[in-house]
A and B are shown apart, each in its own frame.
Chain A
Amino acid sequence: MRDAVRVWIVPVAVPADELARYRAVLDADERNRAARLGAGALRDRFTVAHGALRVLAGRAAGAPPAALTWHRGRYGKPALTGPWSGLHTSLSYSGDLVAVALSEGRPVGVDIQHVAPGGDPVSASARFFDPREARHVAAGPDPAGRALRFTRLWARKEAAVKAAGGRLWPNLAVPVHRADVVECVEPAGPHRLADLPTPAGYAVAVALAGDRPYAVECHTGLGHDR
């Protein structure tokens, strides 16, 4: 059977009771980190993101969401510990959306990026990306098109680096535009990328370790099974 990765796209804006349910499953460290982000949208987004990750991973692992624990790798990649270590997780948030990815057996990275109107995607890609990718961004038809091209590439780069558990910055120049199987600089090894259908104004990419093809199941919201 083909490998599969499951991805959920979850809106940050939730009713107060749902936010409280997410807050209730966070551990002490996550609550402290949420509190440091102040009292506004950043804190609530963090709470929804980490709460949704716990609810979904708990459901997949058959464990209470609050009981799950992650260990952070050398460059900060979190991996589930103990009896759940066969389940790989990845979390990303940007703008008003959260993306959670789960994979059995193969390390996973997911990245969601809001296409931001500011910034200078042509200069940024010329400075940090492979020259062919920089030309691709610069050849976009208009400012919005160039921003979208840049953001799609950025999401693919981050997804691959997150699956690899590597550092983003040294891997920015690794080309991800033409082929779906990419080699990070370090840690070395192939990763297979896939773009996801996304809400307008966002780019989402997922990567699994290894070059074997896989199926992508994409869900919107957490579903009814709470």
Chain B
Amino acid sequence: MLEHDAPADAPPRDQVVDRLTVLLTRMLRPDAPVTEQTQLMDDLGLSSSLGLELLLSLEDELEIQIDVEELDEDRMATLGDLADYITANSTPR
């Protein structure tokens, strides 16, 4: 079955969720477990500069390039939202 909306060879969404969870836990050491429903700014206090570090680390780990032209705060409200965006807006490098 094809992932709808995902460009060819984009990383599977599950893999993006998994790496985001690990990276956010490592960077921010939150009290509660990080899940797809975790609000990045409202629960974790993620700043824009840490957001940049997060995207850069993810690009390196998954060997992808994320197109940030359409990225805004609404599209990274929760970890699940950001995973959706990345799955639909990244290409392998």
Contacts from A to B (Cβ < 8 Å): 33, 36-38, 40, 42, 46, 75-76, 94, 113, 116, 118-120, 123-124, 127-128, 151, 154, 158, 167-170, 172
A214 and B72 alpha carbons, distance in the complex (Å) = 30
User: CB within 8 Å of A: which of B19-68?
Assistant: 30-31, 39, 42-43, 45, 47-49, 52-53, 56, 59, 68
Residue ID in chain B nearest A167 by CB atoms: B72
Task: Assess the B56–A37 pair: CB atoms within 8 A.
Answer: no
Note all chain B residues with C-beta closer than 8 A to A37.
Answer: 42-43, 45
Take A33-B42, A42-B45 as given contacts and tell me if A170 and B69 are in contact as well, using a CB distance cutoff of 8 Å: yes
A80 and B30 alpha carbons, distance in the complex (Å) = 32
Task: Assess the A169–B56 pair: CB atoms within 8 A.
Answer: no
Q: B20 → chain A, closest Cβ, in Å?
A: 16
CB pairs A–B below 8 angstroms (15 shown): A36-B42, A37-B42, A42-B45, A75-B72, A75-B73, A76-B73, A94-B47, A113-B49, A116-B49, A118-B53, A123-B56, A154-B49, A167-B72, A169-B72, A170-B71
In which size bucket is the chain B interface?
A: 20 to 34
Note all chain B residues with C-beta closer than 8 A to A124.
Answer: 52-53, 56
Q: Which of A38, A120, A169 contacts B71, CB < 8 Å?
A: A169
Note all chain A residues with C-beta closer than 8 A to B42.
Answer: 33, 36-37
Q: What 10 A-B pairs come out closest when comparing CB atoms? A: A169-B68, A169-B71, A167-B72, A42-B45, A119-B53, A170-B69, A76-B73, A38-B31, A36-B42, A124-B56
Q: A11 → chain B, closest Cβ, in Å?
A: 18
Residue ID in chain B nearest A166 by CB atoms: B72
A57 and B53 alpha carbons, distance in the complex (Å) = 33
A40 and B44 alpha carbons, distance in the complex (Å) = 12
Say yes or no for B9: interface residue by CB 8 A criterion: no
A168 and B70 alpha carbons, distance in the complex (Å) = 10
Note all chain A residues with C-beta closer than 8 A to B70.
Answer: 170
Residue ID in chain B nearest A118 by CB atoms: B53
Note all chain A residues with C-beta closer than 8 A to B68.
Answer: 128, 169-170, 172
Note all chain B residues with C-beta closer than 8 A to A46.
Answer: 45
A220 and B66 alpha carbons, distance in the complex (Å) = 39
A154 and B50 alpha carbons, distance in the complex (Å) = 12
Note all chain A residues with C-beta closer than 8 A to B53.
Answer: 118-119, 124
Most buried by B among A75, A128, A168: A168
Most buried by A among B42, B45, B59, B73: B45
Note all chain B residues with C-beta closer than 8 A to A151.
Answer: 49
A33 and B49 alpha carbons, distance in the complex (Å) = 20
A36 and B69 alpha carbons, distance in the complex (Å) = 30
Note all chain B residues with C-beta closer than 8 A to A123.
Answer: 56
